[in-house]
Structure 1
């Protein structure tokens, strides 16, 4: 087993086809196929089931892929630490967070960070599901819940409120609810039930309802930006993270007899990156930005 064949195997396992892996590796489909066949011949075991719709790992292939992923993840971590400047923060930092937070809050602030640290570059991955930091799917994460993996370093960043809000036009036409029961007479906008970014994202759906019943929504979409656009257009009432209201002054918060839930935001990263200067300066930047305009 040479490293080049393992690298190609890893790409094919991720891509699910020789053609897509070839595109990633800048190799022809036939060259990728030959390398995989040579690896299977050397090991004397099949690594993939071949069928018309693509490739599926065999049991032996699954075992091989788990090991290869761990090896390449550790190599990537070691490379990042070895190439990082000992004098200043430098290198690429792969950051993941939820789509709403990354689009609305983080991305507009990154120019300030990158201007202050010109030797750092950022790859931002917006994903409402948690990526595996241990497997180097990202270096660091900003998550809207305490970390579930025990081997991650964590730092609490902020408590994010989830207030109800509506447009002035909507309130002028339909009034403003004062109690949870009043919501039954209003048009409700909810986060679509597909990889919800926070546990209580649709807290108003069952608020004040008996026996766990949920009130009907007029509109659902699995994106906070689209929810905010719909609310701003006067479609209905919805719950948004309070950092989104900063750039949408036309939206009005709705005060009721119930306190909205709070989402705890955390900055997390693997133990191996505890001494990384890139991670440290990025963490300090987040902490400096959070109190000012979160």
Structure 2
């Protein structure tokens, strides 16, 4: 099959419109239409159902689109590997991690990475959904669980525990609880039980709420929990890595914490030789090592 026709077919299938595909390819609608008709004739099949609102793939078209999508991903990977210089790190790197870790730990440290590699273009995707790395939804992931997908290079970074924190101002005003049951006398700030979160954190929140807490603030992200805590609103459930950047947080009820949650860095096996991946991996590991050196009494990191 003619690759140029396949390239045009893929663009049309992706856009769902001859006009939109033509805009992307810088071709006229008639030129795109001719190429699609020629491809259908060469395959002796219909690839699109045509209607007033656009184009829909036929069953045969879906089969071909799956093939061209796989080819496109392979070409993107090859292009990325070709562009990765042995002496220079540049180009786009798509990083996915949770909203909490990405906004509270990773993003504040990225200036150091950009200082070292100013031509790097990072697309930081913060969400709880686990993106499919082998399908190239992202290049590298930092997740709060060991990845289950095959064909991934994975590295365990550290463990996270969820703990209770407040400001000294809040504790001076409302007192410091000495037992778990006394948490009922304080405002508890935590992620909403309906918010996607690691199981260990959800279990800790459930056990705290079982103490007949009368006043609560639930938020759908740790960033929101942190903002409420540092503004003296109550006692919050937060990951312990925040103590590095927010040293004024006071730990409450030190014996209360979640089970340990392993944090992994992972990327596709086919990107093992990528200079961008190596630069990002080494940066994250160096930052963790620096944190350990600065906080030797904080064992989980």
TM-score normalised to structure 2 length = 0.78
- 1:261 match: 259
Matched, 1:288 2:254: no
Unaligned runs of 5+ in 1: none
Q: Do the aligned partners of 1:48 and 1:58 also contact (CA within 8 Å) in 2?
A: yes
- 1:138 match: 138
Q: Do the aligned partners of 2:165 and 2:250 also contact (CA within 8 Å) in 1?
A: yes
- 2:8 match: 5
* Residues 200-279 of structure 1 mapped to structure 2, 5 A cutoff: 200-207=200-207, 218-279=216-277
* Residues 117-128 of structure 1 mapped to structure 2, 5 A cutoff: 117-128=117-128
- The Cα RMSD (Å) is 3.7
Cα 1:51–1:224, aligned 2, differ >3 Å: closer, same or farther?
A: farther
Cα 1:22–1:205, aligned 2, differ >3 Å: closer, same or farther?
A: same
Q: Secondary structure at the match of 1:234?
A: coil
Q: Which moved more, 1:246-255 or 1:23-32?
A: 23-32
**For 1:85-125, what per-residue CA distance to the aligned partner results, in whole angstroms no more than 9, with x for missing partners?**
13443433221111221112112212211222234332222
Aligned-partner Cα distance in 1 for 2:58–2:215: 44
Using the TM superposition, give the Cα deviation of residue 60 of structure 1 relative to its aligned residue in structure 2, in angstroms: 5.1
Number of aligned residues:
287
Q: Do the aligned partners of 2:186 and 2:213 also contact (CA within 8 Å) in 1?
A: no
Q: Secondary structure at the match of 1:77?
A: helix
Q: Which moved more, 1:132-141 or 1:114-123?
A: 114-123
**For 1:119-171, what per-residue CA distance to the aligned partner results, in whole angstroms no more than 9, with x for missing partners?**
43322222221111111111111111111112111011122232211233432
Using the TM superposition, give the Cα deviation of residue 195 of structure 1 relative to its aligned residue in structure 2, in angstroms: 5.7
Larger Rg: 2
Aligned-partner Cα distance in 2 for 1:180–1:158: 27
Aligned-partner Cα distance in 1 for 2:8–2:162: 50
- 2:296 match: none
**For 1:219-240, what per-residue CA distance to the aligned partner results, in whole angstroms no more than 9, with x for missing partners?**
2222211111112223332211
**For 1:46-89, what per-residue CA distance to the aligned partner results, in whole angstroms no more than 9, with x for missing partners?**
6569687x887665555444433322211111111122213443
Unaligned runs of 5+ in 2: 292-300
Q: Secondary structure at the match of 1:248?
A: coil
Cα 1:260–1:193, aligned 2, differ >3 Å: closer, same or farther?
A: closer
Q: Do the aligned partners of 2:186 and 2:215 also contact (CA within 8 Å) in 1?
A: no
Aligned-partner Cα distance in 2 for 1:71–1:116: 33
Q: Do the aligned partners of 1:18 and 1:29 also contact (CA within 8 Å) in 2?
A: no
* Residues 179-218 of structure 1 mapped to structure 2, 5 A cutoff: 179-193=179-193, 196-207=196-207, 218=216
